[in-house]
Amino acid sequence: MTSITSTGQAGRPQRRSAWRRRDAATGYAFVAPAVIGALAFVIVPLGAVIWYSLHEWNVLANTFTFVGPQNYQDMLSDGALHDSLIASLWFSLGVVVLNITLSLFLAVLLNQHLPGTTLFRVLFFTPVVVSLVAWTIVWGFLLQADNGINGFLAEFGITGPNWLRNNVTAMISVIVVQVFKNVGLNMVLFLSALQSVPEEIQEAARLDGAGAWRRFFSITLPMISPTMLLVAILTVVGSLETFALIDVLTDGGPGTSTTVLVFYLYRQAFEFNQFGYASAISVLLFVIVLALTLLQWQTRKRWVFHES
Amino acid sequence: MSPDQLTPERPTAAPASAAPVADARGSSPARRTRRPFGSQQLGRAALVFLMIVVAVPFVFPIWWMITSSMKSTSEILSLPPSLWPESPSIESYRQVFELQPFAEQYLNSLYIAVLVTVGTMAVAAFAGYAFARIRFRGSNALFVLVLVGLLVPSEVTIVPLFRMVNSAGLIDTHWPLIVIPILGAPSVLATFIMRQFFVTLPGELEEAGRMDGLSRFGIFARIALPLSRSALAAVAIFTFLKSWNLYLEPLVYLSTKSNFTLPQALTQYVDAYGGPIWNVQLAATTLTVIPVLIVFIAAQRQFIEGLANSGLKG
């Protein structure tokens, strides 16, 4: 490229290499905002939160002392943290099971070429574009002790439970509200997976005498299982990041029954001012989400292979 | 809906992908062909009915929100609940603006979401393009560095970011709600989606542009960017919604009511005992939801595909 020849063509490779150099400079300029942003608002804060987690740091008392792994040791004996992990586990489990069942059911329904399918696709998807806080407020209204859903139930002589004031029904409520909010997204992902299942295989199985259920469980389900795994992990990660729903609907209660990990983290940091301990919880949350996301990437690799 | 039910759409499409729900017993091809035509239509009508029933929990809350916001304070608490307000009034809508600087809060949410959307589109388009099409030393390493943002939920870094914002003296301003989403973790997904799009562009197009004497910026702005409209639209949609719905960050950074954004403001319509003033709260909620719903209905295909893509690739 850089060799100089005396022919008339000489200028060309040189121009090319100059273009290359200028091009690389343009490349750096183009990525600069994203890279600087990643450093300033992702990498540095991530390092900082690990560093803070090794400190006793109370904002009100204005203390900031290095205590090593003390916060992590405290986490082992913190009953409230264990409760929040259990609440998170129930919440995530409930959300993922209900969400996948319902979204797959809706996708199968929409895949039947029934009249009005486009309309129903829009209806099922609508809550996705409704602001989560707005959605939650409306459901809070519906889940009152003596009005909303219970008001309608009373019409039929049924006394509904005080949904948000009982440990079990409160957990069920937050799960259901979360699922109806987001199920449309997974429904669309499942729908496109269902539509990519080759018609010929279905047809062949049908000619072999396989019934509809049999075809669904032996052909459709295995063929969309990669999507299922992907959707499951996305849903679990999403459920682990649920904060607004809990804050608006139950405020973590009754008691601490719906205080999931993120909500506990928020409490420790911004209500109890324990920034050091909250940082340690942040690291725990990060590790959990990281493990799940890496698992998802791993499975996606296999998925791509599977498809080709 | 009823005209839809009366006209069976694509009746021929049914047999091949027969509904697992409809004929649970399973049917051999022979039985299927002998089956009277009417019974299959009956099955399909049953499925449509099922779909209507299932749609209730998706649609009813929105219906309930709108109708309840037009009820009086006494009617909203009366039993049995009425599906339609007895005397629809906009009194609660007046109170929305009286009890809080709601117009200001609305404007806050709007201008923040617009700035974040435009900023994210720019950052993501430039970076996504460079990572996909320009060869420069260290581009892979830098791309991985940026992608770390996909692994970090915003809750994980809220403590250090709060400290950062605090020491910059920007608490109770909108700066952290604008700058951090544009440059930080929330924009990484957008960069990733743009890169995935630009990677698929045929190289010949750019080569032609180069022959015509375009600079790299010219190639980007005149050739690549106009072709990326669909990817940009997806980025715009999910970025706007994310900003519009942001809750934790405003809660942490803002303290003055006139600075609040909508999600935070909605929760503030409470009486002296902290109980919600339902009709006013629902009126404010309706005002927040309706514009987005209208845009969604107008462009539902782009919304659904754009958001589904963002979920898949995230």
Predicted confidence (pLDDT) per residue in B237-277, tens digit? 989 999 999 999 999 999 999 999 999 999 999 888 878 88
Task: Give B6's pLDDT tier (boundaries 50, 70, 90).
Answer: very low
B150, B195 in Cβ contact below 8 A? Answer: no
Query: Do A179 and A287 share a domain, yes or no?
Result: yes
Percent of chain B at pLDDT exceeding 90: 56
**pLDDT value, residue B37:** 59
CATH of domain B98-313: 1.10.3720.10
- Does A189 reside within a domain? yes
Query: CA angle at residue B106 from B283 to B234, to 5 degrees?
Result: 105
Residues 293-312 of B with CB under 8 A from A: 293, 296-297, 300, 303-305, 307-308, 311-312
Give the pLDDT confidence score for residue B17 in this predicted structure.
39
Task: Say if A134 falls within a structural domain.
Answer: yes
B168–chain A Cβ distance below 8 A for any pair: no
Nearest CA in chain A to B65: A138
Answer whether B262's CB lies under 8 Å from A131's CB: yes
- SS3 at position A57: strand
Residues 6+ apart with CB under 8 A from B291: none
Residue B186, CA distances (Å) to B84, B147, B158, B172 in order: 41, 11, 13, 21
Confidence band, pLDDT 50/70/90 cuts, at residue B282: very high
Residue A297 falls within a domain, yes or no? yes
Contacts of B157 in chain A (CB under 8 A): 41-42, 45-46, 49, 282
Do residue A112 and residue B54 have CB atoms under 8 angstroms apart?
Answer: no
Q: What is the CATH number of the domain that holds A236?
A: 1.10.3720.10
Residues A273 and A209 in one domain: yes
pLDDT of res. B310: 65
- Asked if the Cβ–Cβ distance from B263 to A131 is below 8 Å, we say yes
* CA gyration radius, chain A: 27
Asked whether residue A46 falls in the same domain as residue A86, the answer is no
The reply to whether A129 and A255 lie within a common domain is yes
On chain B, the residues whose CB falls within 8 A of the CB of A289 are 151-153, 156
- A37 with A151, same domain? no
Q: Do the Cβ atoms of B64 and A142 come within 8 Å?
A: yes
Residues on chain A touching B144 (C-beta within 8 angstroms): none
Residue A273 lies in a domain: yes
A134 has a chain B CB within 8 A of its CB: yes
What is the C-alpha separation between B50 and B150, in angstroms, rounded? 39
Asked if residue B111 has pLDDT above 90, the reply is: yes
The helices-and-strands tally (H runs, E runs) of chain A is 14, 2
**A27/A94 same-domain check:** no
The answer to whether A212 contacts B129, with C-beta atoms less than 8 Å apart, is no
Structure tokens at B245: 């719905």
Closest chain B C-alpha to A166 CA, distance in angstroms: 18
DSSP letter for A56, please: E
User: Looking at the complex, does the CB of residue A22 fall below 8 Å from at least one CB of chain B?
Assistant: yes
Q: How far is CA A224 from CA A23, A194, B13, in A?
A: 43, 7, 21
CB < 8 Å to B246, chain A: none
- Residue B122's pLDDT band (boundaries 50, 70, 90)? very high
Cα distance between the two ends of chain A: 38
Amino acid at position A3, single letter: S
One domain, residues A33 and A169: no
**Domain shared by A170 and A284, yes or no:** yes
Tell me which amino acid residue A165 is.
R
A242 lies in some domain: yes
Which has the higher per-residue pLDDT, B94 or A61? B94
* Per-residue pLDDT reduced to its tens digit, B69-89: 998 877 877 777 777 888 888
Quote the domain boundaries for residue A48. 11-52
For residue A294, what pLDDT is reported?
83
Q: Are residues A202 and A278 in the same domain?
A: yes
Q: What is the pLDDT of residue B107?
A: 96
B280's tokens: 């006013």
Residues A120 and A195 in one domain: yes
Partners of A45 on chain B (C-beta within 8 Å) are 157, 160-161, 164
Which of A185, A212, A230 is opposite residue B20, by nearest beta carbon?
A: A212
Under 8 Å between Cβ of A265 and B284: no
Search chain A and give the residue with CA nearest B137: A24
- Return the pLDDT at B311: 59
- Tell me if A299 is assigned to some domain: yes
**8 Å CB contact of B79 and A147:** yes
By the CB < 8 Å criterion, does B221 face chain A?
Answer: no
Name the residue among B188, B140, B312 with its Cα closest to residue A297.
Answer: B312
For the segment B210-226, the average pLDDT, to the nearest whole number, is: 90
Q: Do B47 and A44 touch (CB under 8 A)?
A: no
Q: Which residues of B are less than 8 Å from A23 in CB distance?
A: 134-136, 216
Q: Could you say which residues of chain A have pLDDT below 70?
A: 1-14, 299-308
Contacts of B81 in chain A (CB under 8 A): 147-148, 151-152
Domain count of chain A? Answer: 2
Contacts of A36 in chain B (CB under 8 A): 183
Of residues B22 and B128, more confidently modeled: B128
Q: Which pLDDT tens digit goes with each residue over A146-164?
A: 888 888 888 888 888 888 8
CB contact under 8 A, A234 and B311: yes
Minimal Cα distance from A52: which residue of B?
B160
B130–A30 C-beta distance less than 8 A: yes
Which A positions 52-111 lie with beta carbon below 8 A of chain B? 52, 105-106, 108-109, 111
Domain with CATH 1.10.3720.10 in chain B: 98-313
| A65 lies in some domain | no
Q: Is B270 on the interface with A (CB under 8 A)?
A: no
* Residue A100 within any structural domain of the chain: yes
CB-nearest to B134 from A26, A49, A126 is A26
DSSP type of residue B82: P
Give the minimum alpha-carbon distance from B189 to chain A in angstroms, rounded to a whole number.
Answer: 11
Contacts of A262 in chain B (CB under 8 A): 155
Are residue A16 and residue A120 in the same domain, yes or no? no
User: Quick one: pLDDT at residue B22?
Assistant: 38
> In which band, very low, low, confident or very high, does the pLDDT at B13 lie, cut at 50, 70 and 90?
very low
Q: Name the average pLDDT for chain B.
A: 84
